[in-house]
């Protein structure tokens, strides 16, 4: 769909058993620059998460540039406007984190997105459950309480994924602050036993609704105002 400059984005929301509760897709038109596509879809995804009343989120993006723009904004002085926009949206969440993810870990969401870029399905929607034709492609993650995966494609290129943990379901984070590193290890190894070990180590007591979050764990700016030199 190169001539029409279509960008597709989608998200998939799962429960504690890995069952898909909701999924959504949106088409973006007349976007000719890859960077602009990444920005617009990320902003839309954050808005979608907030509109579905999810307040504590881990974003695992498979794009290194966008990840570094959020984590190290002062290193990207030419993109202050874009960074302020992203952080302004993220500040609508009670708690959030951004980590780097591998592209190969979200085939199901990518196939949904290809409905826009390859199949010409430009209607945006949110629906209950997974698409019926995709039941065999959406991987189940039974060891995670609730997981949102999100993938973006521009001309069939996957850009983003997002992992989402339901509000109030993550207990205190480890004091050694290594979960981001371990999530990256998880993405590279992509093995179930490593996933279980990592998440059981850092996310214990998933049914504790009175969980507290370590302020020191948020290593990213909590407000766009902190971008000043």
CB 140 within 8 A of CB 18: yes
Please name which of 145, 202, 151 lies closest in space to residue 14, comparing C-alpha atoms.
Answer: 145
Contacts of 10 (CB under 8 A, 6+ apart): 23, 24, 25, 26, 109, 112, 113, 150, 151, 152
Find the range with the poorest average confidence among 8-17, 34-43, 141-150, 183-192: 141-150
Extended strands (E) in the chain: 7-14, 20-28, 56-61, 95-100, 125-128, 148-154, 157-158, 163-164
Q: What is the pLDDT of residue 110?
A: 58
Q: What is the domain range of residue 205?
A: 2-227
Closest listed residue to residue 161, CA positions, set 54, 19, 30, 66? 66
R_g (Cα) of the chain, nearest Å:
17
Say what the pLDDT of residue 61 is.
Answer: 75
The pair of three-digit structure tokens given for residue 119, joined into one six-digit string: 């199949």
Question: What's the 3-state SS for 57-113?
Answer: EEEEECCHHHHHHHHCHHHCHHHHHHHHHHHHHHCCCCEEEEEECCHHHCHHHHHHH
User: Angle, to 10 degrees, between the axis of helix 64-71 and the axis of helix 80-90?
Assistant: 80
Confidence band for 34, pLDDT divided at 50, 70 and 90: confident
Q: How many domains does the chain have?
A: 1
Reported as a pLDDT band with limits 50, 70 and 90, residue 59 is: confident
**How far apart, in Å, are the Cα atoms of 31 and each of 4, 153, 155, 216?**
9, 12, 11, 38
């Amino acid at each position: 769909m190169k001539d029409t400059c279509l960008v597709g984005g989608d998200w998939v929301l799962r429960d504690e058993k890995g069952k898909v509760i909701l999924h959504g897709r949106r088409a973006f038109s007349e976007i000719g620059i890859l960077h602009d596509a990444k920005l617009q879809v990320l902003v839309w995804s954050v808005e979608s998460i907030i509109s579905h009343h999810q307040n504590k989120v881990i974003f695992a993006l498979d794009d290194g540039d966008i990840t570094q723009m959020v984590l190290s904004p002062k290193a990207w002085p030419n993109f202050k406007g874009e960074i302020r926009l992203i952080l302004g949206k993220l500040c609508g969440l009670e708690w959030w984190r951004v980590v780097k993810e591998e592209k190969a870990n979200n085939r199901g969401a990518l196939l949904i997105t290809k409905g826009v870029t390859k199949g010409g399905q430009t209607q945006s929607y949110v629906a209950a459950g997974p698409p019926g034709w995709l039941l065999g492609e959406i991987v189940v993650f039974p060891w995670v309480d609730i997981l949102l995966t999100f993938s973006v494609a521009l001309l069939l290129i996957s850009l983003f994924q997002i992992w989402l943990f339901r509000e109030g379901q993550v207990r205190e984070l480890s004091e050694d602050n290594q979960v981001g590193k371990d999530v990256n290890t998880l993405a590279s190894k992509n093995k179930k036993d490593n996933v279980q070990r990592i998440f059981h180590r850092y996310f214990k007591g998933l049914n504790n609704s009175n969980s507290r979050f370590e302020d020191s764990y948020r290593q990213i700016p909590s407000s766009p105002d902190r971008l000043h030199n």
